[in-house]
Structure 1
Amino acid sequence: MLKFAAPAKLNLTLEVLGKRPDGFHEIRSVLQAVSLCDTLSFEKSENTIVTCDLPGWSVEASLVTKAVDLLRETAGFSGGVNIRVDKHIPLMSGLGGDSSDAAVVLRGLNELGELGLTRGELVDLAAQLGSDVVFFLYGGTALAEGRGDKITPLPPISPMSVVIVVPGIPREPGKTGRMYAALNPGHYTDGSITSSVIEIIRSSGKFYPRLVFNTFENIAFRDFTLRRVHVEHLLKLGAADVYLAGSGPALFTMFEEEEKARDLFTRCKMQGMEAYLVRTL
């Protein structure tokens, strides 16, 4: 049996430069893997069975199944496999859980089936599954460009503690696409915010929470179910700054001192919030 961790991600920056001729949006984003992880197990079998005990998780809708099918169609993967998905990353939260799981399927079946696919070949397959999937073949800290599928690894940042909170609001399938569609040219930037952050990371190895930028914050609290009250609640509990994770609805705040992060996490849990205390990877 093979077992792999599938980490969540945060967008430390997320700039949208404009809409592309193919209908996608051109982005520049600094992505950071964190220690909140799903776990996927692989074992050879006569048939292919994918299981997950998390309520609301759908094998038909998941990229896990699509990744298996893609490897059958393009890479000669044959035979059966039992895949167990132990979910810890909340569904449809902006943290990239399904994309991370799909990347692990590509890696896991490449090893289990002895397919011999190179990193470059896996990247090409990952891009067919979704824009975020490519990043999870790299992990760590990285620059995402194009529609999010062009990845350049960056030096690791100094370890930071992160408190992630998922507000108790309905999760919306297809929300990311609707958020991109809701952007207007006034929300577009030229990529220089991300360039400045990269320069700081490369010169100092540090990331400062005040540098977080996410253009979706322009619309997330206005046109969607997330509200400013969710941010204000965290600020009252002691968060210095609160940011939207990807397309949300997850929110996060970052600390250099783990003790401060743990204190906020404890207060969030005492309030009955869905909260996670994690570290950057």
Structure 2
Amino acid sequence: MTVKSFAKINLGLEIIGKRADGYHDIRTLFQTISLADELDFEPAPPGVLDLAGDDPSVAWDRTNLVLRAVRLLQVETGTDRGARIVVRKTVPAGRGLGGGSSNAAATLLALNAMWDLGLGAGELAGLARSLGADVPFFLHGGLCLGEDIGDRLTPLPDLPPLPCLLVFPPFPIPTPSIYAAVGPSLTSAGKVSKIMRFLESGDFGLLENDLEHVIFRAYPELERWKSYFRERGAVLSQVSGSGSAVYGLFSDTESAAAARRRLPGTADARLAATLPREGYKAQLGAGA
């Protein structure tokens, strides 16, 4: 069984406040895009779990979210069935695109089907939540409002598909390092939410990523990429999540392709598109 595992971008992110457990409450818009990894699943004898991948920057050991998802399914269902899993990476790690979380969600869906476990949507969502804040989103896809730590989801009507040009800087950004530097001045509890205003008006100009205040201080080159996309006519340009990927959404493919052609030759860039929920479910496979 081969399944796709799509990336996401954040169309805005608001910091609401810091929680007693050290995490931050946020409000964000998750949006799937067409950039995707591929995962191959094959049955194996009971007790056999093999995981391999083609990205040497990723740890393919028991700490990997894919294996954690497998073992969680085994513990929760009592099955001893085995699996051999191979991951072909296209979504770079540590760039704010949710690649590992997407891989974990794809694993839950694929093994639920391959092992005939019969878990329902609510049960899978509970398992996904225990693996990470972004994992539940990838059971839905499309456009979703994420609240609390990002795991309380409201699926929203999809936006029209838009070309998405992404630049991948040659370094990852550890998410904890960005949130650790968030000060009280960035919290927006009690303020009018620009995300909610966007959902009423459709004005992309309202959307902001609060984390950019921290990110640009530490990585000023990312602000230059954001400015470049805006100069080239992007309707929205932001760092995705905590970075390091920077994206520009364009109103048409010709504008996005022109922006890509004018990028410096050393830039690692990819042209994708936003992926509505129906298309996401159709392409994901594994009974999503």
TM-score normalised to the size of structure 2? 0.88
Superposed displacement of residue 234, structure 1: 5.0
Deviations, residues 48-70 of structure 1 (Å, cap 9, x unaligned): 11111122121124211111111
Contact 1:93 1:248 in 2 (8 A): yes
Q: Which residue of 1 aligns with 2:282?
A: none
For residues 262 and 229 of structure 1, the distance between their equivalents in structure 2, rounded to whole angstroms, comes to 19
Unaligned runs of 5+ in 2: 276-288
Aligned length: 269
In the alignment, structure 1 residue 182 sits paired with structure 2 residue 181: yes
Cα distance change, pair 231–193 in 1 and its aligned pair in 2 (3 A)? closer
Q: Which residue of 2 aligns with 1:27?
A: 26
Out of 267, 272, 281, the residue aligned to residue 278 of structure 1 is 272
Q: Helix, strand or coil: the match of 2:51?
A: strand
Q: Which residue of 2 aligns with 1:117?
A: 119
Cα distance change, pair 118–221 in 1 and its aligned pair in 2 (3 A)? same
Deviations, residues 231-267 of structure 1 (Å, cap 9, x unaligned): 455566x354631111001001111111111111233
Superposed displacement of residue 156, structure 1: 0.5
Matches within 5 A, 1:85-96: 85-96=87-98
Cα distance change, pair 230–260 in 1 and its aligned pair in 2 (3 A)? closer
Matches within 5 A, 1:93-104: 93-104=95-106
Cα distance change, pair 235–142 in 1 and its aligned pair in 2 (3 A)? closer
For residues 225 and 12 of structure 2, the distance between their equivalents in structure 1, rounded to whole angstroms, comes to 21
TM-score normalised to the size of structure 1? 0.90
Deviations, residues 167-226 of structure 1 (Å, cap 9, x unaligned): 22x324xx21121111111111136112112223xxxxxx55423311111110113575
Contact 1:209 1:254 in 2 (8 A): no
In the alignment, structure 1 residue 255 sits paired with structure 2 residue 250: yes
For residues 106 and 252 of structure 2, the distance between their equivalents in structure 1, rounded to whole angstroms, comes to 31
For residues 164 and 71 of structure 1, the distance between their equivalents in structure 2, rounded to whole angstroms, comes to 34
For residues 23 and 186 of structure 2, the distance between their equivalents in structure 1, rounded to whole angstroms, comes to 15
For residues 106 and 118 of structure 2, the distance between their equivalents in structure 1, rounded to whole angstroms, comes to 15
Q: Helix, strand or coil: the match of 1:264?
A: helix
For residues 55 and 235 of structure 1, the distance between their equivalents in structure 2, rounded to whole angstroms, comes to 33
Q: Helix, strand or coil: the match of 1:31?
A: strand
For residues 107 and 267 of structure 1, the distance between their equivalents in structure 2, rounded to whole angstroms, comes to 40
For residues 211 and 109 of structure 1, the distance between their equivalents in structure 2, rounded to whole angstroms, comes to 40
Cα distance change, pair 232–160 in 1 and its aligned pair in 2 (3 A)? closer
Q: Helix, strand or coil: the match of 1:88?
A: coil
For residues 65 and 184 of structure 1, the distance between their equivalents in structure 2, rounded to whole angstroms, comes to 35
Cα distance change, pair 99–116 in 1 and its aligned pair in 2 (3 A)? same
Q: Which residue of 1 aligns with 2:15?
A: 16
Output the amino acid matched with 2:14.
E
Matches within 5 A, 1:217-256: 217-224=212-219, 226-232=221-227, 234=229, 238=232, 240=234, 242-256=237-251
Q: Which residue of 2 aligns with 1:50?
A: 51
Output the amino acid matched with 1:211.
L
Contact 1:76 1:115 in 2 (8 A): no
For residues 76 and 208 of structure 2, the distance between their equivalents in structure 1, rounded to whole angstroms, comes to 38
Matches within 5 A, 1:126-145: 126-145=128-147
In the alignment, structure 1 residue 211 sits paired with structure 2 residue 206: yes
Q: Which residue of 1 aligns with 2:194?
A: 193
Superposed displacement of residue 91, structure 1: 1.1
Contact 2:145 2:156 in 1 (8 A): yes
Computed over aligned residues only, the root mean square deviation of the Cα atoms, in angstroms, reads 1.8
Q: Helix, strand or coil: the match of 1:134?
A: helix
In the alignment, structure 1 residue 266 sits paired with structure 2 residue 261: yes
Contact 1:43 1:83 in 2 (8 A): yes
Q: Which residue of 1 aligns with 2:152?
A: 150
Unaligned runs of 5+ in 1: 201-206
For residues 100 and 239 of structure 1, the distance between their equivalents in structure 2, rounded to whole angstroms, comes to 30
